[in-house]
Amino acid sequence: MKAFTLLNGLVCPLDRANVDTDAIIPKQFLKSIKRSGFGPNLFDEWRYLDHGEPGMDNSKRAINPEFVLNFPRYAGAQVLLARDNFGCGSSREHAPWAIEDYGFRSVIAPSFADIFFNNCFKNGLLPIVLAADIVEQLFREAEATEGYKLVVDLEAQTVTTPAGASFGFDITAHRKHCLLNGLDEIGLTLQHADVIRSFEAQRKAQQPWLFV
C-alpha cells in the first residue's frame, strides 16, 4: 500500500449529499478482475454524456462540462471535498480504487458510510471527517478561490487552509500507523498467527458444529 504522510493538494468540491458507490463507479465496471484502471470511469454517469462500458476509449467520449470534476480549474485535484454520508450503498472497494486511481489522496466530508470509510484506509486514501460548519467553510473557500489547496498532515492530524486556519481530525492509532508506513495489514496480522490459532482451537472445542 502507498504510504500517506503529508499532502498539499488542489481541492475539488463535490456539492451533493449521500453520494453512493454506484455513482462513484457504476456496476458495469465491476466486471473487471483487476484492482487498477478504474480512474477514467470515476463518476462515469455524471462525468460523461454517453453511456460508458468497459473497454471504451474514454478520451474519445463527450464529457459533461457541467460536472465539477470536468472544470479545468480542478484538473489534477488531490483532495475531494464532499457532503454527508459520502460512499453509502454497495461495499464495492472499486469505489476507493477509482478515486485513488483518478489521483485523489484524501476525501473530506462531514460524515462517511462505514464500509467505504474503512475501505479507503486499505488503499492509501485518507478519509477525513470534519464538522459540518468547517466543511461548509471549505466549500465556500474552494469555490471562491481558483487554485485552492489544503495541506493534510497525517502525523499532526491537521487540515490547514491557505489562510493558515488549521483543523484537527481523529484517526485510530492503528490506521495512522498503517497509513504513515504504507503497511501490509495481512503481514501485520499474521505476526499474531499463534494467538489466532489458539483462539480457533478453543472455539472448535466449544462449538464444534462451526468446524464442519
Partner 1 sequence: MTAQTLYDKLWHSHVVREEADGTCLLYIDRHLVHEVTSPQAFEGLRIAGRKPWRNHSIVATADHNTPTDHWDKGIQDPISRQQVETLDANIKEFGSLAYFPFKDLRQGIVHVVGPENGATLPGMTVVCGDSHTSTHGAFAALAHGIGTSEVEHVMATQTLVAKKSKAMLIRVDGELGRGVTAKDVALAIIGRIGTAGGTGYAIEFGGDAIRSLSIEGRMTLCNMAIEGGARAGMVAVDDKTIAYLQDRPFSPKADQWDAAVAYWKTLVSDEGAVFDQTVVLQAADIAPQVTWGTSPEQVLAVSGKVPDPAAESDPVKKGSYERALQYMGLAANTPLTDIPVDKVFIGSCTNSRIEDLRAAAGIAKGKKKADNVKLVLVVPGSGLVKKQAEAEGLDKVFIEAGFEWREPGCSMCLAMNADRLEPGERCASTSNRNFEGRQGQGGRTHLVSPEMAAAAAIAGHFVDVRTFT
Judged by DSSP in three states, 77 sits in coil
When asked if residue 123 is in the footprint of partner 1 (CB under 8 A), the reply is: yes
Given the rule CB under 8 A, which of 5-13, 61-69, 160-168, 171-179 is the region that contacts partner 1? Answer: 171-179
Nearest distance, CB of residue 162 and partner 1, angstroms: 25
Handedness of CA 67, 71, 75, 79 (dihedral sign): negative
Binder to partner 1 among 76, 133, 205, 207 (CB under 8 A)?
Answer: 207
Nearest distance, CB of residue 24 and partner 1, angstroms: 11
When asked if residue 119 is in the footprint of partner 1 (CB under 8 A), the reply is: yes
User: In Å, what is the CA distance from 165 to each residue of 4, 141, 143?
Assistant: 22, 12, 17
Beta carbon nearer to partner 1, 6 or 195:
195
Binder to partner 1 among 11, 23, 150, 179 (CB under 8 A)?
Answer: 23
Spatial strand order in the sheet of 126-129: 126-129, 106-109, 79-81, 6-13, 149-153, 158-160, 166-168
One-letter identity of residue 125: L
Beta carbon nearer to partner 1, 90 or 161:
90
Nearest distance, CB of residue 99 and partner 1, angstroms: 13
Phi, psi dihedral angles at 108 (to 5 degrees): -115, 130
When asked if residue 88 is in the footprint of partner 1 (CB under 8 A), the reply is: yes
Q: Which three three-digit cell numbers place residue 142?
A: 474552494
When asked if residue 199 is in the footprint of partner 1 (CB under 8 A), the reply is: yes
Phi, psi dihedral angles at 167 (to 5 degrees): -125, 130
Name the DSSP letter for residue 62: P
Q: At what angle do helices 94-102 and 114-121 cross, to 10 degrees?
A: 50
Q: Are 114 and 90 in contact (CB under 8 A)?
A: no
**Which residues make up the interface to partner 1 (CB under 8 A)?**
15-18, 20, 22-23, 26-28, 30-35, 45, 51, 54-55, 83-85, 88-93, 96, 111-115, 118-119, 122-123, 172-175, 185-186, 189-190, 192-193, 195-196, 199-200, 203, 207-212
